[in-house]
Structure 1
C-alpha cells in the first residue's frame, strides 16, 4: 500500500489542513512566497503590509480562541494599532506632571462635591498600557454581541462552502469554527486600538473601564490641547479634575458601575442577527483577504437588529451616561471656576462627548452600541438646578440609590424634578407607614374584648382593630377557641 503523500513520518493529515499549513506559515520549503502570491492576487506588495495581512489570516485559522471569540487576538491587534505611528513610553517627568495635576484636582474638588477624595492612585499611561488596563472591560461590554456575531458568521461561511470542500475538512473543521471569532477579534482590536489614540483618561467614555484607577494619557492630553491656544498645564489640570470627579462618583456610588454595565448586558441579551444578510455577504468574502472581511465588519453588515426592548435599554443607557457626564461637567465647572481657560475647555469637552470621535463611531457600527451622552447639557442643567435647591450635599445625596435617580422626563423638565419627587415621596410615605406598622407587629396586636357575647376570648382580628373597638361578629364557626358561655 502506498503511503499518504501528506504523511511525513507522523500521523496523516487531510489535504485542506496541509494546504493551509503550507500557505499560511507552515515554514516548509514547499510553501508559497507571500510576495509572489500578492502579485497574483492583486494584494499590496509592501512587505510590512503583507506581513500584517498574513499574520492576521494565519491567526484566523490557527490561534487558539478563548471560547467563540479570540480575545487574545483582539488585544494583540489593539496593541498593534495603538503602536501605529508613535506610542512613546511615559517619561518620569510626565508621570510627575500627572501626579501633580491629580493632586491639585483633588483639592479643588473638595468644596465642589460632598464625595470625599478617592483613594485610587493616579497613573500616566501610554496608549498600549490603556489597552492592557481596559481590555477586560471591553470584553465584558462586547462579549454577548461578539459571540452571537461570530457564531452567525461561522455558520454562514459553513453554509456557503461547497459540498466537495466539506468532505475535505476533516481536522480543519476546528479552524473554520474559530474563523468567525477571529474575524470579530481583529475588528474589535482595531476599534479599541483606534480609541486608544483618542481617549485622554481612563473614564473618558463615561465608564470605569479600569476599575478604580485614575489615569491620564500624556500623549493624548497633548494632542487634545493642540490648536486651542491654551497652556498645556491648564489642559492637563482641567482633564485631571474631570478624571478625579469620575473616580469620586464611581467610588461613592458603588452601584453605579454595575448599573451601567447591566444596562449594556440587558441590551446584549436580546440581540438578533439577520442571518440572511450575513449569508448574502458571506458569498463575497474571500477568507484570504482580511481587508474585505474587515470592511464588511466595519460597515455594520453584521450589526444586530434592534428590538423594542433593546431600544428601551439604549435609552436607559443614554440617560444614565448623560447623568454621569452632566454631574461631572457641573462639578468640574465649579471646581475650576478660577481657571482662565475653563469655559473654553468645558465647551470643547461637551461637543466632543456629545458627537463622539471616529473610533467611537467604528465601535458603534461594530456592536450596535453608542456610548455618547447626547443629553449631557440637559443633565448638567438639572444638576445645577438641584444644587441651587438643595445645596451640594442634597444634590450628591441623590446618588445613594438607583431608585432616586432622575429619568429622561426629568431631563426634559429639570425645574419640575423636585415637585414630582415630593408627590412621589408623599405617596410612598403611606406605604412606608403601613409597612412599618406591619414590621412592628401592629397588625397582630390583640384587640381588647368589648363584648363577651359576640367575641371569643383572646380572639384577634384586623377588623376589630380597624373599627377602633366596635363590635365585629365572629364568622368563624369552626374556631378552635373556647366555646361561648
Structure 2
C-alpha cells in the first residue's frame, strides 16, 4: 500500500494490485518488451520481443487463453541462433563427424547383436542439425511440459481466487485469469529457452533418458554431429571412435524402448502424477504486494526462478520423484552396461565412457531437463549403481536374464535392488545357477505374472522375496500388463 495504514482486506489493496498489474503489462506500456526479456532471462530478437509483449497484453484481458507453444519453438530456435559460432573450420569437422556417424551404424548394429537379445529397430538413426532436433522433438517437449504448465496455472488461479477477499474479488474479477495467462506465457518462453540450450548440448535423441524424436522413421533415434564434434574436442580419441561409441549408445537406447513398449508411456505418466499435486503458496503474494518494485525487473526473475511461491513437495510428488529417478537410473544403467560390453573391442572406449559419466556429474542434458521441469535431481551414484547391477546380472545370468526384466514393469529391479544387487539375485533365485537356468526362471515368472497368478515379483513362490517394492510401484496400485495401471522418477 502507499501508506502505513492497516488494510482491512487481509493485506491486499485493490488499488495497489491494479496498479501493479497495470504497470507490469498494461496499456500504459511502462514495462517494455526488452524489460520482459530481462525479467525472464531469455535472449529474444526484436520481433520475438514484440510478439511476447502482445502475448502478455492479451493475457491481461483476463480471458483464459491456451498456452501458445509456438512461443516455445521460436525462443528455442532463437537461442540456437544466438549461440551459433560455426566457421569454415568447424563446418569441416562437423562434416567429418557426419560421415563417421553414418559409417558407424553398421558396425554398431553388429556389436549390439552380440551382447543383447533385444532386436534392432526398423529405422537407422537420423543425423540432425540442432534446428532439426528442436523441430522433431518439440511435440515430446510439449507432452512432457503440458501437464506441469497446466497444473501450475490451475493451482495459481485457484489459489488466487480462494485467497482474494470478497471485496477485492468484486473489484478485480479478472485478476486470477490474468495471473494464469501470464504464468503460462512465461512458462512457454522459459521452456523454449531451456530446449534451445539443450539443442546445443545433446549428442543424441536419447540423451535425456527417453526418446524425444517423433515422426516417420523415428524409431532408430537420432545423432547430432555438431554436438558430437564438440564432445569429441575434449577427448584424445579419433572422431571415428567417438562416433562409433555414441552410435552404439543411441542404438542401444532405441532397442530398449522398442522392446519395452510400455516404458515411454509409464515415464510420462509419472510426470503427470507429479504435476497433479502442484500447489502454490498464495499467501506469499502479501509480501509481493508490499515489496515488488516494477522498475526492478530482477525481482520478477528471482520470483519466477526461485520457486518462492511453490510449497515443499507433497508425499505423492516425492513418490513420483522416486519413481522417475529409479526409472531413469535403470534406463541409463542398462544402456551404459550394454554399451560397455558392445564396445570392448573399441580403443579408448573407457575414456569416452568416463567423459559421459563426467558430463552427467556436472549436469548433463537429462539432469538439466528434469531439474528445470520438475525439480528432480538425478544422483550420479544411483546411475553408476544401476549400471553395475545390470553388468552383474549379465555376468551371473546372461544377457537374456538381464534383458527379460524389461518385459513387464513389475519385473524391474527396485530402488533397493539397485543399491543392493544381491537382493535382486536372490529374488530371481540365482544362487549357484547357470545363466540358462536363471533365464528359465524369469520366463516362468513372467508367464505366471501375465496369467494373474501373483501380483508382484516377490510373490513368485520359489523366486524369493523382492526385497522391497519397485520404485515404480511405491505410490500404490497394481499395473496392468500393458503398463497402464496406477503404479509405475522422474521428471522436463
TM over 0.5: yes
Unaligned runs of 5+ in 2: 1-20, 431-440, 454-492
Question: Which position in structure 2 is the counterpart of 1:58?
Answer: 54
Unaligned runs of 5+ in 1: 1-15, 25-31, 438-485
Structure 2 residue 360 is the aligned partner of structure 1 residue 353: yes
Q: Which moved more, 1:209-218 or 1:51-60?
A: 51-60
Q: How does 1:317-328 map to 2 (within 5 A)?
A: 317-328=324-335
SS in 2 for 1:263: helix
The 3 A distance-change label for structure 1 pair 160 and 103 is farther
Structure 1 residue corresponding to 2:116, chosen from 109, 113, 117? 113
After TM superposition, the score normalised by the length of structure 2 is 0.69
- The separation in 2 between residues aligned to 1:314 and 1:260, in whole angstroms, is 11
Q: How does 1:121-136 map to 2 (within 5 A)?
A: 121-136=124-139
User: Does the aligned pair in 2 maintain the 1:121–1:213 contact within 8 Å?
Assistant: yes
Q: Which moved more, 1:201-210 or 1:355-364?
A: 355-364
Question: Which position in structure 1 is the counterpart of 2:77?
Answer: 79
Deviation, 1:201, is 0.8
Structure 2 residue corresponding to 1:196, chosen from 178, 194, 199? 199
Question: Which position in structure 2 is the counterpart of 1:144?
Answer: 147
Structure 2 residue 336 is the aligned partner of structure 1 residue 329: yes
Q: How many residues align?
A: 404
- The separation in 2 between residues aligned to 1:432 and 1:247, in whole angstroms, is 28
Deviation, 1:355, is 4.4
The 3 A distance-change label for structure 1 pair 235 and 277 is farther
Question: Which position in structure 2 is the counterpart of 1:415?
Answer: 422
Question: Which position in structure 2 is the counterpart of 1:209?
Answer: 212
Q: How does 1:21-420 map to 2 (within 5 A)?
A: 53-62=49-58, 68-86=66-84, 95-153=98-156, 178-211=181-214, 212-277=219-284, 280-281=287-288, 292-303=299-310, 305-357=312-364, 360-361=367-368, 364-365=371-372, 367-370=374-377, 374-420=381-427
User: Does the aligned pair in 2 maintain the 1:151–1:180 contact within 8 Å?
Assistant: no
Deviation, 1:357, is 3.6
User: Does the aligned pair in 2 maintain the 1:156–1:282 contact within 8 Å?
Assistant: no
Select the structure of larger CA radius of gyration. 1
User: Does the aligned pair in 1 maintain the 2:78–2:196 contact within 8 Å?
Assistant: yes
After TM superposition, the score normalised by the length of structure 1 is 0.70
Deviation, 1:407, is 0.5
Deviation, 1:148, is 2.8
Indicate the structure whose relative CO is greater, using CA pairs within 8 Å and at least 6 residues apart.
2
Q: Which moved more, 1:95-104 or 1:247-256?
A: 95-104
The 3 A distance-change label for structure 1 pair 328 and 33 is closer
- The separation in 2 between residues aligned to 1:83 and 1:113, in whole angstroms, is 40
- The separation in 1 between residues aligned to 2:284 and 2:426, in whole angstroms, is 50
SS in 2 for 1:200: coil
- The separation in 2 between residues aligned to 1:92 and 1:402, in whole angstroms, is 41
Q: Which moved more, 1:265-274 or 1:65-74?
A: 65-74
User: Does the aligned pair in 2 maintain the 1:354–1:375 contact within 8 Å?
Assistant: no
Deviation, 1:260, is 1.6
- The separation in 1 between residues aligned to 2:77 and 2:297, in whole angstroms, is 18
Deviation, 1:20, is 7.0
The 3 A distance-change label for structure 1 pair 57 and 294 is farther
SS in 2 for 1:375: helix
SS in 2 for 1:115: coil
- The separation in 1 between residues aligned to 2:319 and 2:25, in whole angstroms, is 46
